[in-house]
Amino acid sequence: MAGVIAWLRTSGRGRCWWEPTTLLVVAGLVPVWLCVQTIFHPQDLFALGLALVATACARRDRWLLAGVLLALAVLSQQFALLVAVPLFVLAPAARKVPLATAAFVTGAVVVLPLATLTSGHAIRAVTLGTGDNPSQGGTVLWETHANGVTAVLLFRIAPIAVSILLSLWVARRLGSRALEPVPLISLVAVSLALRLVFEANLFAYYFMALAVTLVVLEVTQGSIRRTVVAWLAALTLVSTRMTGLLFGPEPWERYLQHKLIPILIGGAALLAILIQLAQGSDRRNMWPWAAVVAVDLILLPGGNALSAGTVIWFWQVVLVVPGLLLAGQTLRRSVLHPSCPTPPWPAPALTA
């Protein structure tokens, strides 16, 4: 909540109806409340919240505080490095040293006492994470059977390296304008999406950071794309199937999971298609809703792996690729067409 509010207020969308609306939407995202309701990974929420506040501080030229918050975010969950990297690359030359120094000192203040008290064992948790254990795998890159040093390079180093290259490209094309709200938050969203591209495991709550930043990106640019709404609807459908502990054993809970949620979301998407057909709208505007209906039909209980949501690589492609493209589309437009005006504010427009 603090991270979203801090960002909205530094991007010109705070202290108005955008603020409570955005908070309600973010709080209702399934991957967000999975972090506390089922999986209990509150550190992911801490990390993203701290990273968003740090990004807001960077917008306000408070780089020392940004460094402190980024260090705390990374110490909470290592995916925050994918926010720290773009901020460091985009920081003005005179601000890079204060940013890095503040982050290093903060990290040392936290890590050194812990490392001393645990005879160095805390270092492993800090560098690799407390969840660095064998898991289900199943992603596209998992199928390469990489292990050892190769696995670390592929699953952990590669997304950071790509984020660095992407940030350098944005900095080169936009210069100081890269710190404007839309290109900055879209770059952060793309960078966070890279984690999902290079992951060895994929759980529903892993989508939390990308889902939140996409919502914040839409609010920042002042136009709500139907493609983002459709992606969030598909993510909700898949999340309710991927997470077996999301619902309990009671009949009404099973009815909610297998019947009510798919009927409501699939029915709403089908209704949107029918309305646009009746209005004679451009057929291309119907594709996002058609994709939601297709996902809904695939997930209908049928006793197969696809309907159960357990074919991880398939759902990774279905969800991660569009999510990455949605964030990248805005970033590409901001970089290649920097003179394009920001959509009107405060009234939102539902665009294709």
Q: Is the pLDDT higher at 240 or at 11?
A: 11
Q: Is the pLDDT of residue 316 over 60?
A: yes
Which of 127-136, 167-176, 308-317, 338-347 shows the lowest per-residue confidence on average (mean pLDDT)? 338-347
Provide the β-strand partners of residue 224: 350
How much of the chain is in helix, strand and coil states, percent to nearest 5? Answer: 75, 0, 25
pLDDT at 45: 96
Q: What pTM was estimated for this model as a whole?
A: 0.91
Q: Is the pLDDT higher at 36 or at 289?
A: 289
The interaxial angle of helices 18-28 and 208-221, nearest 10 deg, is 160
Q: Is the pLDDT of residue 135 over 60?
A: yes
Segment holding 53, helix H or strand E: helix 42-59
Per-residue pLDDT averaged across 148-172, rounded? 93
Q: pLDDT tens, 50-72?
A: 999 999 999 999 999 999 999 99
Q: What is the mean pLDDT of the chain?
A: 89
Degrees (nearest 5) of the Cα angle 111, 116, 122?
Answer: 50
With cut-offs at 50, 70 and 90, classify the pLDDT of residue 111. Answer: very high
pLDDT at 137: 82
Q: Which of 171, 176, 160, 180 is nearest to 220 (CA)?
A: 180
Provide the β-strand partners of residue 351: 225
Q: Is the pLDDT of residue 350 over 50?
A: no
Q: Is the pLDDT of residue 272 over 60?
A: yes
Q: Confirm if 7 and 189 have CB atoms less than 8 A apart.
A: no
pLDDT at 303: 62
Q: Give percent of the chain above pLDDT 70.
A: 90
Q: Confirm if 239 and 207 have CB atoms less than 8 A apart.
A: yes
Q: pLDDT tens, 198-250?
A: 999 998 999 999 999 999 999 999 989 999 999 999 999 998 877 655 666 66
CA–CA separation, 54 vs 65, rounded Å? 7
The CA–CA distances, whole Å, from 161 to 75, 145, 184 equal 20, 21, 18
Per-residue pLDDT averaged across 6-34, rounded? 94
pLDDT at 121: 82
pLDDT at 247: 63
Q: Is the pLDDT of residue 98 over 80?
A: yes
Q: Confirm if 65 and 91 have CB atoms less than 8 A apart.
A: no
Q: Which of 121, 193, 127 is nearest to 159 (CA)?
A: 193
Q: Which of 179, 123, 217 is nearest to 338 (CA)?
A: 179
DSSP 118: T
Per-residue pLDDT averaged across 170-186, rounded? 95
DSSP 245: T
pLDDT at 344: 41
Q: Confirm if 38 and 243 have CB atoms less than 8 A apart.
A: yes
Q: What's the farthest any 2 CA atoms get from each other in the chain?
A: 69
pLDDT at 281: 84
The CA–CA distances, whole Å, from 177 to 19, 28, 119 equal 25, 33, 46
Q: Confirm if 6 and 185 have CB atoms less than 8 A apart.
A: no
Using a 10 angstrom Cβ sphere, with 0-12 exposed, 13-18 middle and 19 or more buried, the burial of residue 15 is exposed
Q: Is the pLDDT higher at 337 or at 141?
A: 141
